[in-house]
Copies of this chain bind each other. A is one copy, B any other.
Amino acid sequence: MELQKVDGRKARGEKKRRAIVEATLRVIEREGVAGVTHRSVAREAGVPTTAPTYYFATLDDLLIATLLWSAEELCDDMLKIVASGGSAREIARSLAQAVNENRGRTLAEYELYLLAGRRPELKPAARRWLDRAVEVVRPADPLAFRAFLAAIDGLLLQGLIADVAPNEDELEPIVSFLIRGRDDFTAAPKEE
């Protein structure tokens, strides 16, 4: 146990650091990347104005750290959609949830996409869920699967700009159509 003695200061610091990142994500969900400033984040996190600067060299670092971190969660969410039990119903339900209850988070994800379009360093994080989906599902027909993944992004995106976000029942038949011939790519599923 001698080596495991942790510095209480660093422990608290790391905790605060995480709190700041989480606050940043909340700001992004609520107001978009544009709303992220040292002050808005500090206010959201309940810390002094200079705290974010202390933990992150620059505002950009904070933004990138937040998006990289959120990408992990988003990856999980997306995999849950892609491999959620498998039935069209369940996939449709997950999609409906993403554009309704989790609207803010879904918007945040596409903020990440867009930023990745302009900042190469974010690209791997943005497309992580795509790579992981292929790894997990191991589709026999990669083409069909890529089309399916593309359609998911499209459905979410279009769901966000609809007058009223689509619900489970509206999405189900479309998903159903997309995974007709589902055996093509779920022939060799694989848990890891």
User: Using a CB–CB distance below 8 Å, which chain A residues touch chain B?
Assistant: 31-34, 107, 110-111, 113-114, 116-118, 123, 126-127, 130, 143-144, 146-147, 149-155, 157-158, 160-163, 173-174, 177-178
Tell me the smallest distance from the CB of A40 to a CB of chain B, in Å.
Answer: 15
Question: Which chain B residue shows the least CB distance to A34?
Answer: B34
Contact of A157 among B118, B153, B174 (CB under 8 A): B153
Oligomeric state, in number of copies?
2
Task: Specify which chain B residues have a CB less than 8 angstroms from the CB of A178 in the assembled complex.
Answer: 147
Task: Specify which chain B residues have a CB less than 8 angstroms from the CB of A117 in the assembled complex.
Answer: 107, 110, 160-161
Contact of A118 among B107, B126, B149 (CB under 8 A): B107
- The 10 A-B residue pairs with the shortest CB-CB distance, nearest first, are A150-B154, A153-B154, A154-B154, A151-B151, A117-B160, A150-B151, A126-B161, A150-B155, A116-B161, A143-B177
* A150-B155, A174-B147, A174-B150 as given contacts; A160 in contact with B33, CB under 8 Å: no
Task: Specify which chain B residues have a CB less than 8 angstroms from the CB of A114 in the assembled complex.
Answer: 32, 107, 110-111, 114
A154→B157 CA distance, assembly (Å):
8
Task: Specify which chain B residues have a CB less than 8 angstroms from the CB of A130 in the assembled complex.
Answer: 158
A118→B32 CA distance, assembly (Å):
8
